């Protein structure tokens, strides 16, 4: 299958080929075999085509961009594409995961520090903003930034200058900020875990990435790309997917999105026979975001939406006070129990940041505030 490929290395020009399909890949995707990031993105499904059109509309401006999407949906790829289509193309693109640093370290990494600013600061160091000067700074998992850092980030965005730790003067910067999150920041704002003024400053333009299960037209093009990519990496002869494999790929819910699909294809090529991937070669995750309708019908006598509506109607008729808080607490408790009291997994299941979830669990008395 012919495809239109863009290698979004900011040092290189984007390569255009006419009458071909669109595929984005990370410039160093071959080194990311253990990364949770999506290493490729296609635009075949109508929802993806609509997303691409919106990217092309907002990319040329210098407006801050907030990208919203589940883990593995390709948020960094989209951020790089925004950069590649902007007037900052050819300038630095700096990608940073905000959740990978402690509160004490993230300030130094973000804004830089002077020599002697703290124990171990033997030399002065520029922060991410200075490193991205003239270009684009991509902050992934922006919802994980501590409130104290959010205040300073807001000031940098307003004043367009940074002050290194230990410095007495500011440094002017010209940076376009693209932030990403896999949680609902509105919930974090309501829980007082994310600043409302920063939220609106980041959300000048926003892009919502559909999950892979919600853009089925992209599944097979992505699968075929990964088959070709790993065939080359492994030094195999040409390998293809049979019809049963394609059908199985289309029926899966893909809770891990593009990254899960890549891993499934990689594994299938290791075990398939006769240069053909069959359905039995596809070892899919047993994790499911939603139980199949057939399972609800079989075990509960109805479909999931119907069961939920029936339960809500009973609650409405019960006259229970503070119904919203009751339903929210019940949902959080059930999810927390379902995830065996794992806060990270519970937060991911509910689409919340861990800070928001923790605040709710403490308020409910499910955990101790000192833990």
**pLDDT greater than 60 at residue 110:** yes
**pLDDT greater than 90 at residue 128:** yes
Q: Which of 33-47, 102-116, 191-205, 282-296 has the lowest mean pLDDT?
A: 282-296
**pLDDT greater than 50 at residue 259:** yes
Domain extents in the chain: 3-210, 217-281, 320-364
Model confidence at 325, pLDDT cuts 50, 70, 90, reads confident
The three-state DSSP-derived secondary structure of 61-117 is CCCCEEEECCCCCCHHHHHHHHHHCCCCCCCCEEEEEHHHCCHHHHHHHHHCECCCC
> 326-329, long-range: CB within 8 Å, 24+ apart, which pairs?
328/360, 329/360, 329/364
Specify the DSSP element, H or E, that contains 207. strand 205-208
Which residue from 195, 185, 272, 260 is spatially nearest to 222, judged by alpha carbons?
A: 260
Give counts: helices (H), strands (E), the chain.
Answer: 15, 12
Dihedral sign for Cα 240, 243, 244, 249, please. positive
CATH number of 3-210: 3.40.50.300
Higher pLDDT, 352 or 247: 247
Q: How far is CA 335 from the centre of its chain?
A: 21
| pLDDT tens figures, 339-363 | 778 888 888 888 888 888 888 888 8
Model confidence at 86, pLDDT cuts 50, 70, 90, reads very high
Give the CATH fold of the 217-281 domain. Helicase, Ruva Protein; domain 3 (1.10.8)
Which residue from 76, 86, 321 is spatially nearest to 181, judged by alpha carbons?
A: 76
Q: Which of 149-153, 234-238, 314-318, 341-345 has the lowest mean pLDDT?
A: 314-318
Give the CATH fold of the 320-364 domain. Arc Repressor Mutant, subunit A (1.10.10)
Provide the pLDDT for residue 295.
37
Dihedral sign for Cα 57, 62, 64, 66, please. positive
Which residue from 126, 123, 116, 122 is spatially nearest to 163, judged by alpha carbons?
A: 126
């Amino acid at each position: 299958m012919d495809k239109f490929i863009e290698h979004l290395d900011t040092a290189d020009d984007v390569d255009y080929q006419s009458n071909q399909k669109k595929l984005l890949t990370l410039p160093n995707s071959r080194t990311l075999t253990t990364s949770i990031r999506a290493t490729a993105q296609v635009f075949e499904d109508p929802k993806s085509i609509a997303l691409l059109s919106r990217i092309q509309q907002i990319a040329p401006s210098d407006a801050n961009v907030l990208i919203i999407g589940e883990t593995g949906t390709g948020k960094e790829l989209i951020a790089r594409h925004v950069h590649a289509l902007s007037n900052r193309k050819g300038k630095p693109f700096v990608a940073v995961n905000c959740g990978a640093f402690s509160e004490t370290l993230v300030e130094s990494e973000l804004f830089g520090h002077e020599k002697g600013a703290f124990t171990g600061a033997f030399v002065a160091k520029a922060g991410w903003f200075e490193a991205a000067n003239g270009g684009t700074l991509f902050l992934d998992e922006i919802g994980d930034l501590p409130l104290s850092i959010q205040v300073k980030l807001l000031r940098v965005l307003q004043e367009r200058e940074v002050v290194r730790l230990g410095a007495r003067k500011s440094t002017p910067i010209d940076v376009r900020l693209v932030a990403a999150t896999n949680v609902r920041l509105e919930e974090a704002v309501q829980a007082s875990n994310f600043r409302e003024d920063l939220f609106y400053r980041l959300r000048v333009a926003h892009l919502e990435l559909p999950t892979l299960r919600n853009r089925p037209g992209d599944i097979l093009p992505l699968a075929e790309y990964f088959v070709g990519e790993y065939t080359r990496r492994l030094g195999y002869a040409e390998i293809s997917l049979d019809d049963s494999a394609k059908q199985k790929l289309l029926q899966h819910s893909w809770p891990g999105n593009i990254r899960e699909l890549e891993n499934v294809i990689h594994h299938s090529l290791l075990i398939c026979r006769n240069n053909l991937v069959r359905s039995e070669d596809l070892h899919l995750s047993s994790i499911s975001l939603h139980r199949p309708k057939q399972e609800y019908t079989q075990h509960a006598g109805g479909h999931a939406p119907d069961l939920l509506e029936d339960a809500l109607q009973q609650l409405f008729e019960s006259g229970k006070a503070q119904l919203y808080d009751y339903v929210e607490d019940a949902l959080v408790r059930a999810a927390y129990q379902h995830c065996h009291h794992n806060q990270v997994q519970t937060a991911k299941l509910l689409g919340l940041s861990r800070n928001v979830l923790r605040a709710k669990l403490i308020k409910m008395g499910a955990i101790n505030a000192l833990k």
